Amino acid sequence: MPTPVDIAPAHGKLGILLVGLGAVSTTTIAGVLAIRKGYAKPIGSLTQMGTVRLGKRTEGRSPKISDVVPLSDLDDLVFGGWDIFEDDCYAAARTAGVIEPSLLDRVRPELEKIRPWPAVFDQRYVKRLDGPNVKKGKNKRDLAEQVIADIRKFKTDHKLDRLVMVWCGSTEIFMTPTPAHATLDSFERALEENDLAIPSSMIYAYAAIREGIPYANAAPNLTADIPALVDLAARTGSPLAGKDLKTGQTLIKTIVAPGLKARLLGVDGWYSTNILGNRDGEVLDDPESFKTKEESKKSVLDYIFQPQLYPELYGNLCHVVRINYYPPRGDNKEGWDNIDLVGWLGYPMQLKINFLCRDSILAAPIVLDVALFLDLAKRAGMHGIQEWLSFYFKSPVHAPGLYPEHDLFIQLMKLKNTLRYLKGEELITHLGREYYD
């Protein structure tokens, strides 16, 4: 038997720091409060409902994940966060309009107590947004120190044992790494010099990682996925995860595409379009924020189909992704996919998918799982990029020189094998010859 990894117990309270108290964050917080009181079920959450098979199929051992690895209990979670709007979490959840008022009212007092701290915000990085609840500072370094002060105060005020941060803020404009992001020194100098290469999200990420706090990015923008912050994470022992939660259309894409590929059906074209009417949709209506999202959404098929290995099947794939801001639908997104398939002897076929989904309802269990698993990673001494959490993301962060794994089923196997590894259980290969010996 392999040796189990030493994991510190999940004693005491875990603070979950959410940057941006918008639709995703408020749906996560209100959801956890409602579930805690028994008003609803944590559907979609692996940490709350998932099981993991241990040992051989004949052993019949499939305990709940939460009984295998020590995870924080929902009763021990405390939420805090920042936003550019002053609305408390109840008012923000009402604005988001995801959870019905009758359920929100049942947890209203707890939600009203969560008031956002002033944000680090600069409209140059999110053009369609502006709000009053914003920090002022001498430079970006000073703003980072203010975020650290918020974090420390939150920890003391609520007697928290550990913390996790998840960026649930709006998608910032498309950026690529520059020399300012290359080393910790150049990054800290750029903070002092108010370098444009440092968007607001990186200031929060820096603050969290410097404090040794696990950090995840729920959005597609560049934040902790730069060498300077990966290096800082190694020094402070922060686990990192991201980026861009895999919900809605991309979730379905990474479920369907591996199936078509498994049967070696060719794909000539995949046209995806959406209508979305929430604030996220409004921000993504700006071409620079949309570009960040588009890059994230488009890469998945290339990696799943491997056109370099199967040029006849996927070499000429035309992949188009559109997001249309359409206010009447609010958070209830509607996505359409048209897939042009090719079968035996080159005969064409078509597959149409029409998904009427709820964006934040799909996102909230991911935020919860990622927060709990990152806290587990921290207690297990795992720092830096946590590739085993790729399962949750559209653009999984990965080591340089590796390609990201996008196939949802490979990602799930990787996640569960990591849990088995942590507990010193045999990894499952699905070879299964022993049953026939």
Ligand X SMILES: NC(=O)c1ccc[n+]([C@@H]2O[C@H](COP(=O)([O-])OP(=O)(O)OC[C@H]3O[C@@H](n4cnc5c(N)ncnc54)[C@H](O)[C@@H]3O)[C@@H](O)[C@H]2O)c1
Under rule CB under 6 A, residue 292 binds ligand X: no
Distant-in-sequence, close-in-space partners of 409: CB < 8 Å, separation ≥ 6: 258
Please, which residue, 69 or 251, has the CB nearer to ligand X? 251
Residues 144 and 434: their CA atoms lie apart, in Å, by: 56
Please, which residue, 108 or 279, has the CB nearer to ligand X? 279
Side by side, the strands of the sheet bearing 239-242 are 117-118, 77-83, 14-19, 162-167, 215-217, 239-242, 384-385
Q: Which stretch binds ligand X (CB under 6 A): 16-24, 39-47, 158-166, 259-267?
A: 16-24
Minimum gap (Å) between residue 149 Cβ and ligand X = 16
Tell me which of 200, 299, 390, 395 binds ligand X, using CB under 6 A: 200
- Exposure string over 120-146, b if 16+ CB within 10 A, otherwise e: bbbeebbbbbeeebbbeeeebbebbeb
Under rule CB under 6 A, residue 407 binds ligand X: no
Residues 226 and 236: their CA atoms lie apart, in Å, by: 16
Residues 217-236 that bind ligand X (CB under 6 A): 218-219
Please, which residue, 161 or 288, has the CB nearer to ligand X? 288
Minimum gap (Å) between residue 133 Cβ and ligand X = 8
Residues 325 and 284: their CA atoms lie apart, in Å, by: 8
Instruction: Judge contact between 199 and 175, C-beta under 8 A.
Output: yes
Place of tokens 């919900």: 247
Tell me which of 32, 74, 111, 119 binds ligand X, using CB under 6 A: 119
Under rule CB under 6 A, residue 279 binds ligand X: yes
Minimum gap (Å) between residue 43 Cβ and ligand X = 15
Residues 373 and 419: their CA atoms lie apart, in Å, by: 10
Residues 66 and 334: their CA atoms lie apart, in Å, by: 33
Strand 77-83 to 348-356 pairing: unpaired
Please, which residue, 54 or 92, has the CB nearer to ligand X? 92
Q: Which stretch binds ligand X (CB under 6 A): 83-91, 137-145, 225-233, 397-405?
A: 83-91
Under rule CB under 6 A, residue 118 binds ligand X: no
Q: Which stretch binds ligand X (CB under 6 A): 33-41, 116-124, 135-143, 415-423?
A: 116-124
Residues 18-77 that bind ligand X (CB under 6 A): 19-25
Please, which residue, 34 or 173, has the CB nearer to ligand X? 173
Show the site string, 121-160: x = touches ligand X by CB under 6 A, - = not: x----x--x-x-----------------------------
Residues 158 and 332: their CA atoms lie apart, in Å, by: 35
What is the CA angle 403-5-16, rounded to 5?
Answer: 70
Tell me which of 111, 168, 180, 339 binds ligand X, using CB under 6 A: 168
Instruction: Judge contact between 133 and 171, C-beta under 8 A.
Output: no
Q: Which two tokens stand for residue 206?
A: 């820096």
Under rule CB under 6 A, residue 325 binds ligand X: no
Can you give the binding site for ligand X, defined by CB under 6 A? 19-25, 82-85, 96, 119-121, 126, 129, 131, 168-171, 200, 218-219, 244-245, 247-248, 278-280, 283, 359-360, 362-363
